[in-house]
Amino acid sequence: MVARIDGPSAGFINPAGLAGLAHPSVSGTVNVVDYTRVAARTATGTAYADDIQLKANLVGFANILDEDSGGWALTLASPTGWSSGLKVRTDTANGTRSDDGRSSLELTCLGLAWGGHVSPHCSLGVAFEGWLVDYRLDTGTSASDTTSVLTATYTESGRQMALRLAIGSQWDVGDWHFGAMLRTPGLRLQGQGSISGSSTSSDGTTTVHDQVSDEGTGFIVPLPWQLVLGASWFPPTIPGLEIETDLAVHTGSGNAEVFAAAHRSQTTVTSVGISTVDTILPSRDLDLQPVFNPRLGLRYRFPNLFLERIVFAHLGGYIEHTPVERSDVFSRLDLLGGTTGLSFEKGPMLVTIALAYVTSGTLQDAIGFVSSPASGLSPELDDPDATYAFRTFSLSLGSSYRF
């Protein structure tokens, strides 16, 4: 939450929070249990779900410059981490078909931030960030019936490096705390991708071999503007309670070629002879739309000590609308998440235990499946009527220490 934050995590969430740093500190979070399920259905097939991981971890170190100059922080954050596996078994007219896929997408940010006071009730901060995007997809297909056989494998991967600037502010008005954080679009430094795949099909008289290969294709994932506005309130009638609401805004982007065109060679073998045709596959595009994501957080400090420790209770909820307007690579997926947890503080040590549940779409969608037109479960299975649902449960441990 951007309106009131301090410690190393402020370096990524809102660098202006480093102005209130009183002691050098180090902190980090880790998901110790992370159970997630993704399930799919097609009009003619039976779907199997596999476990995936969705993690958002952050570690950092913060230090004060001097008593009046604020502080600085070095942070390593992974705001997006996705790894999924999916299996689909389909009954054909005279046989069976198997589609297996595994994909991963991870965004990692390394940032150096500074924050300081410009007045007793206002602070500013800035962070210089390096962003790394890693993506990979591996799929395999096999099918057979009384007349034909098909085997296919496909792999695509990409890595991109970009620079971004984050500017934050915080200010106080009575019982209210306000915050704002602006992150610039990514200045792309380097992007490299590769595509490879092969398939062989035969009906007993004709054999067709497809080969796709391009180890040096381009790779681009746009990182658009981000603006987060927040307000935090301490109700004077309920001592110890803090309420914060945020609105995270992501702008859209123009059409970008995630993967440039790749080379394809198709060889056909018949009783007449062998023929080979070389073509160029179309580029794989991505178009991002503006999204507005609301967040709500509650924190309550219990009035009495428990085991000689100060205890805080946390409760939160958020909506993550998909930024994908149109894409040949990424599917549209809206998320609804909720968190709850407890923090225990004694002296310089703070320990937090948190539970989180995330699902696709609304609460009603969590019971069934979310429609995903043209989801493309793999390059060999593109069913416009395919549907899937996503749910994850995680147990996280976090700790910070003030020196």
Higher pLDDT, 204 or 176: 176
Q: Say if 207 falls within a structural domain.
A: yes
In a domain, 150, yes or no: yes
Query: Higher-confidence residue: 230 or 85?
Result: 230
Beta bridge partner(s), residue 101: 86, 139
Question: Per-residue pLDDT tens for 3-32?
Answer: 888 888 889 999 999 998 888 889 888 777
182-186 long-range contacts, Cβ below 8 Å, gap at least 24? Answer: 182/225, 182/226, 182/227, 183/129, 183/225, 183/226, 183/227, 184/225, 185/222, 185/223, 185/224, 185/225, 186/131, 186/162, 186/222, 186/223
Tokens at residue 270, please?
């018949």
Q: In angstroms, rounded to a whole number, what is the distance separating the alpha carbons of residues 185 and 166?
A: 10
Strands (E), 234-334: 241-250, 256-259, 263-269, 274-280, 284-288, 291-301, 310-320, 324-327
Beta bridge partners of 270: none
Residue 69 pLDDT grade (very low, low, confident, very high; cuts 50, 70, 90): confident
Structural domain count of the chain: 1
Question: How confident is the model at residue 268, as a pLDDT?
Answer: 86
Instruction: Give the per-residue pLDDT at 374.
Output: 42
Q: Calculate mean pLDDT across residues 94-122.
A: 87
Integer Cα distance of 48 and 88 in angstroms: 6
Type of residue at 56: A
Q: C-alpha distances in angstroms, 387 versus 5, 27, 40, 50, 346?
A: 40, 40, 6, 15, 49
pLDDT per residue as tens digits for the range 317-332: 999 998 988 888 887 7
Task: Spell out the residues 6+ positions from residue 95 whose beta carbon is closer than 8 angstroms to its own.
Answer: 143, 144, 145, 146
Range of the domain at 109: 10-402
Task: Determine which helix (DSSP H) or strand (DSSP E) holds 363, and give its type and residue range.
Answer: helix 363-367
Q: What is the structure's pLDDT at 377?
A: 47
Question: Does 17 reside within a domain?
Answer: yes
Examine residue 5 and state whether it is found in any structural domain, yes or no.
no
> Distances from the Cα of 374 to the Cαs of 156, 256, 328, 329, 383, in angstroms?
19, 19, 9, 11, 6
pLDDT band at 230 (very low <50, low <70, confident <90, very high): very high
pLDDT for res 365: 57
pLDDT at 163: 97
In a domain, 4, yes or no: no
CATH number at residue 111: 2.40.160.60
Task: Kindly tell me if the per-residue pLDDT of 74 is higher than 90.
Answer: yes
Identify which has the larger pLDDT, 40 or 180.
Answer: 180
> pLDDT band at 378, cuts 50/70/90?
very low
Q: pLDDT of 90-100, one tens digit each?
A: 776 677 777 77
Instruction: Let me know if residue 1 belongs to a domain.
Output: no
In a domain? residue 71: yes
Element (H, E) at 67: none
Residue 21 has phi, psi (to 5 degrees) of -70, 125
> Per-residue confidence at 245, pLDDT binned at 50, 70, 90?
very high
What's 328's DSSP letter? S
Q: What is the pLDDT of residue 98?
A: 78
Token readout for 124 is: 């500013």
pLDDT tops 60 at residue 291: yes
User: pLDDT of 182-223, one tens digit each?
Assistant: 999 999 998 998 888 888 888 778 888 888 887 778 899 999
